Amino acid sequence: MVIEVKKISDFKEVDVSKLIQESEKEGYRFVTRLKEEYEDGTNRFSEQGEALYGVWEDKELVSIGGLTKNTITTEDQSARLYRFYTLPDHRRKGIGSELFKAISENAKGKFKEITTKTESAKADAFYRANGFVFEERSPDTTHVLSL
């Protein structure tokens, strides 16, 4: 098993069809929205400090996630973990943590914190294991990581 975490510079060159299919089976539409937002120009991870990363296992994209400026808060140096998803068969193998590590390294020196929102107990456990603190600041934020 060869795992490779890479920054995605052109989303159009990445095949996310399996991620979309599997996420929608689970009732999640955020990978679909990620694709739609990129295509319509709403979010291309092109602002200062923003980035989109993927994890490939044996050349198959198995996880994706991004970092955007946080528009939900007035804090200037706040980032948002955005559209973070790992295929079900690849969870609990450290892939999500490797992806998050790359994203958080990208954020250091550019942002003071990373926020996210989840309603999933499994995602809550993942975020806490990766240094986030449960903090319901607003309806759009449940977890915060100070950098």
Residue extents of the structural domains in the chain: 3-146
Question: CA 7 to CA 106: how far, in whole Å?
Answer: 10
Query: Chain centroid to CA 87: how far?
Result: 13
Q: Which CATH architecture has domain 3-146?
A: 3-Layer(aba) Sandwich (3.40)
| pTM across the whole model | 0.92
Q: What is the pLDDT along the chain (147 residues), one digit of tens a residue?
A: 789 999 999 988 999 999 999 999 999 999 999 999 999 999 999 999 999 999 999 999 999 999 999 887 666 799 999 999 999 999 999 999 999 999 999 999 999 999 999 989 999 999 999 999 999 888 999 999 999
Residue 38, pLDDT score: 94
